[in-house]
């Protein structure tokens, strides 16, 4: 029995999210099918992800682990998986991991990207790959506001209601926005020790409203205080969100640095 740590990218458009669901096409589902085919296993082989992603959310570097019944060189496993997986999932890296490694429990940080298309109309070619904001945006104001995300805060106002997680305190190490000259899209990047359900999409929604002048620049500080999700209002759509990287003690998170990478 050998444990593999596998980094995958996927286009989330045609998936009902990461997590296995009956009669739905999910990333976990297609991964488990491929692994089981390679193993010729009569029973399910569980593929554990670093966390779930919602329907329509993409990944550039999601990490999963699974236990495989026999030893296959990592390069052979990578090749076998890519030959079996559908075209919207690709294995980017494959390593044999320590038997104690766990893709979810061992994470020390995650990095998300959120892309926003700014044209008056949604670009037909980007509708599944960006959020869309057609109103005026002051990017300097957004940059200023994003600084308020950095540090350790109670993100209760930035988490979808419901859910079993009681502790809503998270640490954000970096929060940036850049303009992609090629596409004229805004690219948000958030790096933190963990993210609550819908948290990045709500953070982006608030940042866009600040950029449009609908909220004061430092409204984020007020939202920490009120601990009221309804006051954050707008959740940016799933289509713009990408899980970029999962950290396992290999990022500056572990040194406690609050740096922009």
Residue holding tokens 């940042």? 207
Instruction: Sketch the per residue contact string, 228 through 257, with a copy of itself: x for CB under 8 A, - otherwise.
Output: ------------------------------
Q: According to CB under 8 A, which one of 3, 4, 10, 237 is a site residue for a copy of itself?
A: 10
Does residue 134 touch a copy of itself according to CB under 8 A?
A: no
First-last CA distance in the chain: 37
Q: According to CB under 8 A, which one of 43, 100, 121, 255 is a site residue for a copy of itself?
A: 121
Using alpha carbons, select from 31, 16, 171 the residue that is nearest to residue 94: 31
181: exposed, middle or buried (Cβ count in 10 Å: 0-12, 13-18, 19+): exposed
Binding span for a copy of itself by CB under 8 A among 110-118, 124-132, 166-174, 217-225: 124-132
Report the helix count and the strand count for the chain, using DSSP H and E.
Answer: 5, 10
The two structure tokens encoding residue 237: 């759509």
Report the site for a copy of itself in 37-96 (rule: CB under 8 A).
58, 82, 87-90
Distance CA 203, CA 150 (A): 12
> Across-strand partners of 91?
8
Does residue 160 touch a copy of itself according to CB under 8 A?
A: no
Distance CA 176, CA 232 (A): 19
Catalytic (active site) residue 123? no
Binding span for a copy of itself by CB under 8 A among 109-117, 121-129, 171-179, 201-209: 121-129
For strand 169-180 and strand 151-154, is the pairing parallel, antiparallel, or unpaired? Answer: antiparallel
Pick the closer one to a copy of itself by CB: 109 or 237.
Answer: 237
- Residues annotated in the binding site for substrate, as ranges? 112
Task: Give the binding site for a copy of itself (CB under 8 A).
Answer: 9-11, 58, 82, 87-90, 121-125, 127, 129, 182
Catalytic residues: 54
């Amino acid at each position: 029995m050998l444990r593999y740590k596998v980094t995958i990218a996927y286009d989330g458009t045609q998936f009902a999210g990461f997590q296995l669901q009956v009669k739905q096409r999910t990333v976990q589902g297609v991964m488990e099918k491929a692994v089981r085919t390679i193993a010729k296993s009569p029973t399910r082989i569980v593929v554990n992800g670093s966390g779930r992603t919602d329907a329509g959310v993409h990944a550039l570097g999601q990490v999963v682990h699974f236990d495989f019944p026999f030893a296959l060189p990592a390069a052979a496993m990578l090749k076998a998986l890519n030959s079996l997986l559908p075209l919207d999932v690709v294995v980017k890296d494959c390593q044999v991991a320590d038997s104690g490694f766990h893709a979810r429990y061992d994470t020390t940080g995650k990095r998300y990207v959120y892309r926003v298309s700014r044209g008056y109309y949604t670009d037909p070619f980007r509708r599944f790959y960006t959020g869309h904001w057609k109103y005026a945006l002051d990017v300097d104001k957004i940059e200023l506001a994003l600084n308020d995300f950095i540090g350790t805060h109670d993100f209760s106002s930035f988490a979808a209601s419901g859910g079993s997680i009681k502790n809503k305190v998270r640490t954000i190490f970096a929060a940036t926005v850049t303009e992609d000259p090629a596409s004229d899209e805004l690219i948000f990047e958030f790096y933190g020790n963990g993210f609550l359900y819908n948290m990045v999409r709500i953070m982006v929604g608030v940042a866009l409203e600040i950029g449009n002048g609908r909220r004061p620049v430092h409204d984020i500080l007020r939202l920490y205080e009120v601990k009221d999700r309804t006051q954050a209002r707008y959740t940016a759509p799933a289509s713009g969100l990408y899980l970029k990287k999962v950290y396992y003690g290999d990022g500056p998170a572990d040194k406690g640095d609050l740096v922009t990478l």
